[in-house]
């Protein structure tokens, strides 16, 4: 459980990220999370409001269509009532019917004239066309010259007539046709108002062209791409601006079936979404309770959501601007906090490498200011302690070397070696004489009157004496060469005493001595600008240069590397870490090792001390 908690903590708190990255992510999270929640909430609420407004708008439009349609139907009813109440008309339909042909013709002519006058133009092209179907007038068929007055037997078997309720006053019959044009037919039963019994005498109808209703529907379309039409109780489209749809039956359509499923009481508004011919449509409808007809509206959802899409774009732009501002503030805040930390880390890196002269300069007055001031004081104290320790160690080593040199009486040593040399000469033994002379020179240069820094010439002479002694020892197995060097370089350039002889000794013991046959050691001096390098080549058995270089910096070196590491340390103590010994593979001889010693070009003791001080300051 604890392991799981630790894992979650590392993940949530981004322990593997830098402080700058964590600050940016935390700030963005704290800003964007509430912004996103608020934006989503506002968007959802706005979407609900806009959706409700759209539904309300469509419902209001359909209600207005219903009201206007009811007014049109009422106007048709009023027109029929006006005709019905016409005195002449009432007398004609209520009086006893004539039996002679003249009377019948006159009656037909009078009724036809009234109907034509009432229609406005006397043709079917008027705003509405009235027709009269009289009960028990078979003679009308014989004298059928009228286009307005008929015997009721002509329609008695038609479904629309049979569908008229027996006691109905005004009836919306529905879709009909007249002169190859679609019309809406309305019917009114007629009773003889001149008789007390009010007997049923016939049926009055009017036909109104469906084109009269086009402006009614187009005016209330929710969007430009919306469609509104009216279907009768059988699902046949009765009114539509698109003439091609009139007369089509939609009862087999999926949306019509869903309308039947969701159908409630008359006048109730319903809406649902339906994919029609590949378009996502909002289907809305209201059923007219008086007629059973349905007013339908089909609106593309993408058009209805235009306002919502605009709001969505504005919201996205606002969120993007908020994110951009948040990111800029996060970057500014994180940089404001992480920059001093980076400066602190950089200073610590310099201090770790030995450079204690880096002072952190910080102008602000905050917690970092206090921290950096204390840190700067700490660096100054550490530098002072290191300088003090360095001087102490240097003096200690000088004292030890002088003590060692004092223990050796040079005059006694030189006199003794000189006596041995003369004995060898007297006994004609030149080998012993040469060895003693070389040994005497070796000690003379090694002591060097107690000096730690000597000319390069003296150091090379000491190496030459050492190699002569080793040649006596190894005879034909060892050969050496001191390559020619500019005498000015030998005289002027100063080096650390006993810095080359240990390298030569190491090359003989670990390289030449272990190989088969004769080996060779070459020493080359090269001055390049401010660098003096002395290269010691050997063609012995060789070794791994990287391992030897590692031993030079190892804090606990083995016995085999103690002398070389001591030389490397002494050089760096005098001249700095940029100088010292470096091993390479001997590419020139294609075997063995190459040891390169780097010194700065110095010609006086003061320059040596300045180089040492400069290194401690870096």
Q: What are 304-338's pLDDT values in tens digits? A: 777 777 777 887 888 888 778 877 887 787 777 77
**When comparing pLDDT for 386 and 600, which is higher?**
600
Residue 364's alpha-carbon distances to 242, 338, 361, 367, 372, in angstroms, are 78, 14, 10, 9, 11
Structural tokens at position 449: 């009157």
Structural tokens at position 123: 């043709």
Mean pLDDT within 233-246: 86
The yes-or-no verdict on residue 196 having pLDDT over 50 is no
- Residue bearing tokens 């036809």: 112
* pLDDT of the residue at 121: 42
Which of 570, 517, 568 lies closest to 539 in space, CA to CA?
A: 517
Q: What percent of the chain has pLDDT over 90?
A: 6
pTM for this prediction: 0.49
The yes-or-no verdict on residue 122 having pLDDT over 60 is no
The yes-or-no verdict on residue 276 having pLDDT over 50 is yes
The yes-or-no verdict on residue 524 having pLDDT over 90 is yes
> Which residues have CB under 8 Å from 524's CB, separation 6+?
483, 534, 535, 537
Name residue 528's beta-bridge partners.
Answer: 531
Which of 222, 192, 209, 345 lies closest to 295 in space, CA to CA?
A: 222
Report the range out of 124-133, 363-372, 406-415 with the highest average pLDDT: 363-372
> Which residues have CB under 8 Å from 452's CB, separation 6+?
398, 401, 496, 497, 574
* pLDDT of the residue at 180: 73
Structural tokens at position 597: 């010693």
The string of pLDDT tens digits covering residues 85-121 is 888 887 787 767 677 778 878 888 888 888 887 775 4
Alpha-carbon torsion (171, 173, 174, 179), positive or negative: negative
Alpha-carbon distance 31 to 323, whole Å?
8
Q: How far is CA 455 from the centre of its chain?
A: 67
Q: State whether residue 456 is helix, strand or coil.
A: helix
Q: Is 45 exposed, middle or buried (0-12, 13-18, 19+ CB in 10 A)?
A: exposed
Question: Where exactly are the structural domains of the chain?
Answer: 221-304, 353-384, 451-617
**When comparing pLDDT for 335 and 175, which is higher?**
175
Q: DSSP assignment of 49-70, as one string? A: HHHHHHHHHHHHHHHHHHHHHH
Structural tokens at position 559: 């016995």
Structural tokens at position 93: 């339909």
Radius of gyration of the chain (CA): 61
The yes-or-no verdict on residue 408 having pLDDT over 60 is no
Phi, psi of 438 (to 5 degrees): -65, -40
* pLDDT of the residue at 616: 47
Judge: domain 221-304, CATH 3.30.450.20.
yes
Sheet of 181-191, strands arranged across: 149-151, 129-134, 200-209, 181-191, 170-178
Alpha-carbon distance 14 to 8, whole Å?
10
Name residue 120's beta-bridge partners.
Answer: none
Beta 227-231 vs 237-239: how paired, if at all?
antiparallel
Report the range out of 120-129, 250-259, 480-489 with the highest average pLDDT: 480-489
Judge: domain 451-617, CATH 3.30.565.10.
yes
Mean pLDDT within 342-358: 77
* pLDDT of the residue at 417: 67
For the beta carbon of residue 163, count every other beta carbon within 10 angstroms.
Answer: 13
* pLDDT of the residue at 617: 46
For the beta carbon of residue 589, count every other beta carbon within 10 angstroms.
Answer: 17
Mean pLDDT within 377-382: 84
* pLDDT of the residue at 334: 75
Asked if residues 525 and 534 have their Cβ atoms less than 8 Å apart, the reply is yes
For the beta carbon of residue 346, count every other beta carbon within 10 angstroms.
Answer: 12
Which of 552, 478, 550 lies closest to 517 in space, CA to CA?
A: 478
Q: What is the 3-state secondary structure (H, E, C) of 191-212?
A: ECCCCCCCCEEEEEEEEEEHHH
Mean pLDDT within 556-573: 73
The string of pLDDT tens digits covering residues 44-94 is 887 788 778 888 888 888 888 888 888 888 888 888 888 888 888 877 877
């Amino acid at each position: 459980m604890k392991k799981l908690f630790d894992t979650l903590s590392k993940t949530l708190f981004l322990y593997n990220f830098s402080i700058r990255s964590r600050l940016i992510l935390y700030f963005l999270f704290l800003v964007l999370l509430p912004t996103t929640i608020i934006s989503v909430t506002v968007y959802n609420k706005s979407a609900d409001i806009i959706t409700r407004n759209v539904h309300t708008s469509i419902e209001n439009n359909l209600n207005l269509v219903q009201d206007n349609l009811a007014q049109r139907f009422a106007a048709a009813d009023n027109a029929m009532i006006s005709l019905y109440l016409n005195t002449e008309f009432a007398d004609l339909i209520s009086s006893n019917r004539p039996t002679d042909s003249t009377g019948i013709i006159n009656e037909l002519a009078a009724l036809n004239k009234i109907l034509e006058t009432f229609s406005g133009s006397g043709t079917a092209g008027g705003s509405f066309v009235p027709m009269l179907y009289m009960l028990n007038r078979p003679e009308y068929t014989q004298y059928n010259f009228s286009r307005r007055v008929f015997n009721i037997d002509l329609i008695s078997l038609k479904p629309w007539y049979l569908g008229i309720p027996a006691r109905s006053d005004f009836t919306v019959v529905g879709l009909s046709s007249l002169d190859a044009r679609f019309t809406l037919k309305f019917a009114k039963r007629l009773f003889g108002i001149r008789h007390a019994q009010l007997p049923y005498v016939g049926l009055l109808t009017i036909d109104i062209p469906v084109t009269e209703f086009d402006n009614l529907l187009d005016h209330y379309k929710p969007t430009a791409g919306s469609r509104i039409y009216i279907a009768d109780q059988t699902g046949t489209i009765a009114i539509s601006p698109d003439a091609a749809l009139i007369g089509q039956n939609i009862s087999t359509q999926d949306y019509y079936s869903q309308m039947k499923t969701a159908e409630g009481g008359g006048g109730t508004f319903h809406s649902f979404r339906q994919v029609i011919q590949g378009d996502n449509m909002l289907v809305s409808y209201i059923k007219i309770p008086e007629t059973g007809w349905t007013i339908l509206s089909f609106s593309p959802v993408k058009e209805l959501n235009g306002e919502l899409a605009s709001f969505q774009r504005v919201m996205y732009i606002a969120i993007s601007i908020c994110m951009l501002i948040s990111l800029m503030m996060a970057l500014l805040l994180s940089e404001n906090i992480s920059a001093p930390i980076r400066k602190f880390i950089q200073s610590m890196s310099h201090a770790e490498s030995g450079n204690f002269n880096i002072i952190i300069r910080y102008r602000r007055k905050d917690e970092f200011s206090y921290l950096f001031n204390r840190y700067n004081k700490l660096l100054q104290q550490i530098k002072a302690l290191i300088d003090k320790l360095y001087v102490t160690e240097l003096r200690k080593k000088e004292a030890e070397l002088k003590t060692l040199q004092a223990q050796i009486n040079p005059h006694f040593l030189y006199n003794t070696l000189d006596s041995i040399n003369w004995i060898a000469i007297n006994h004609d033994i030149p080998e012993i004489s040469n060895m003693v002379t070389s040994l005497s020179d070796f000690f003379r240069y090694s002591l060097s009157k107690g000096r730690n820094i000597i000319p390069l010439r003296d150091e090379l002479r000491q190496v030459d004496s050492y190699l002569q002694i080793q040649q006596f020892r190894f005879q034909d197995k060892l050969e050496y060469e001191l390559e020619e060097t500019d005498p000015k370089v030998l005289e002027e350039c100063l080096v650390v005493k006993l810095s080359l002889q240990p390298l030569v000794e190491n090359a003989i013991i670990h390289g030449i001595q272990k190989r088969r046959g004769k080996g060779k050691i070459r020493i080359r001096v090269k001055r390049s600008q401010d660098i003096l390098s002395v290269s010691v080549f050997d063609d012995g058995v060789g070794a791994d240069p990287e391992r030897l270089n590692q031993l030079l910096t190892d804090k606990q070196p083995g016995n085999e590397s103690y002398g070389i590491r001591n030389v490397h340390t002494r050089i760096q103590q005098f001249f700095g870490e940029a100088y010292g010994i470096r091993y390479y593979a001997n590419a020139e001889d294609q075997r063995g090792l190459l040891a390169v010693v780097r010194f700065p070009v110095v010609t006086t003791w003061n320059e040596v001390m300045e180089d040492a001080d400069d290194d401690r300051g870096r």
